[in-house]
């Protein structure tokens, strides 16, 4: 049983992580850190977590903590990961992994030199709906994938994470926050890497110094053209669609854990197959998978390098938004 400490125990821990840990079989939470001592104590009492800290360093010094899950605001990821690595603690870092690709590289190098496991929490890699989509495309069910589309919208106005509108803390707007999920899902489902990136964003009076909505287009090495659409001004929706020369795969809410996902396979304008898939255990699968890797049972499927690869694309998207040019990728 791997004992986790959660750094930055906030909204994400309450809404997503703790329900996942409660369903997990290989791990549990024994420590948390939060800057506000009163809120830290309240959360610990609510979930029966025995160790309470107000700093990452103190949590990582706890002998009862076997692994660290970093869920702080994005600007804190580098320091928190390096602190965990220095304490020789395996660390699972929330997405986006850093503020830029250079930060991700520093984390990877530090973990390698310390000989500890570093993973990135791209939760949708643990969704059966995403895995099934990957399987069907690999099996040729749509033929050659020509087009891909992943959309992720949610209502960000008056959001509890007020820092998502501050570039100095978040690194960007919805491209960084949820576009990274879409980019990672495309890479994983297609089993391919992007070679070109272009992006266009739109801001409004409430979006601070980040975009409120954006479109990112990607060209993959085997020819697939893909679009990522993100916004913090619309109701939650996560449609996923792939168009091939033999068929179409479609999921209206492919990236969700809150309800069953219906996957549809279309050919010649006819619906030929539907599958109903539950992603309810995705968060449990993620932490159990990391726990198994810590125990040496199996490799963690989303190592730090995958977070770096996603960040390279995010960086290119933001450069494109400034330059209005297509950015070439050569290092993935």
Is-contact 271 286, C-beta < 8 A? no
* Residue-by-residue DSSP string for 287-332: HHHHHHHHTTSS--SSBHHHHHHHHHHHHHHHHHHHH-SPEE----
From residue 289, alpha-carbon distances to 58, 82, 266 in Å are 26, 22, 33
Is-contact 241 117, C-beta < 8 A? no
- Its pTM stands at 0.96
Predicted confidence (pLDDT) at residue 76 exceeds the cutoff of 80: yes
At 192-234, the pLDDT tens digits run: 999 999 999 999 999 999 999 999 999 999 999 999 999 999 9
φ and ψ at 22, to 5 degrees?
Answer: -65, -20
Q: What is the mean pLDDT of the chain?
A: 96
| Residue 125 binned pLDDT confidence (cut-offs 50, 70, 90) | very high
Locate 87 and state its tokens.
């304490």
Q: What is the pLDDT of residue 158?
A: 85
At 265-278, the pLDDT tens digits run: 999 999 999 999 99
First vs last Cα of the chain: how many Å apart? 35
Nearest alpha carbon to residue 33 among 61, 82, 19, 1: 61
Q: Which domains does the chain have, with CATH numbers?
A: 2-123+283-302 (3.40.50.720), 124-279+312-328 (3.30.360.10)
Residue 239 to residue 122: CA distance in whole angstroms:
17
């Amino acid at each position: 049983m791997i004992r986790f400490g959660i750094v930055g125990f906030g909204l994400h821990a309450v809404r997503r992580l703790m329900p996942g840990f409660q369903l997990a079989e290989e791990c549990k939470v024994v420590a948390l850190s939060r800057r506000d001592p009163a809120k830290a104590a309240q959360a610990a009492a609510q979930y029966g977590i025995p160790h309470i800290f107000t700093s990452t360093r103190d949590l990582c010094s706890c002998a009862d903590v076997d692994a660290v899950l970093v869920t702080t605001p994005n600007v804190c990821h580098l320091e928190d990961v390096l602190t965990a690595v220095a304490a020789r603690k395996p660390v699972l870092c929330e997405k986006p992994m850093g503020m830029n690709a250079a930060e991700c590289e520093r984390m990877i190098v530090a973990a390698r030199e310390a000989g500890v496991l570093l993973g990135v929490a791209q939760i949708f890699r643990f969704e059966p709906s995403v895995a099934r989509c990957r399987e069907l495309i690999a099996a040729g069910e749509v033929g050659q994938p020509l087009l891909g589309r992943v959309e992720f919208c949610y209502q960000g106005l008056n959001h509890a994470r007020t820092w998502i509108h501050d570039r100095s803390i978040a690194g960007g707007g919805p491209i960084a926050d949820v576009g990274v999920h879409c980019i990672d899902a495309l890479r994983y489902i297609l089993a391919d890497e992007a070679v070109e990136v272009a992006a266009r964003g739109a801001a409004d009076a409430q979006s601070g110094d980040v975009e409120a909505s954006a479109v990112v287009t990607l060209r993959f090495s085997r020819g697939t053209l893909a679009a990522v659409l993100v916004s913090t001004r619309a109701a939650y929706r996560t449609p996923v669609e792939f168009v091939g020369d033999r068929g179409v795969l479609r999921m209206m809410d492919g990236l969700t854990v809150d309800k069953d996902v219906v996957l549809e396979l279309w050919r010649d304008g006819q619906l030929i197959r539907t599958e109903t898939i539950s992603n309810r255990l995705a968060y449990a699968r993620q932490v159990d998978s990391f726990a198994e890797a810590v125990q040496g049972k199996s490799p963690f499927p989303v190592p730090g390098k995958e977070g770096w690869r996603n960040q390279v694309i995010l960086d290119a998207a933001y450069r494109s938004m400034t330059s209005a040019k297509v950015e070439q990728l050569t290092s993935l």
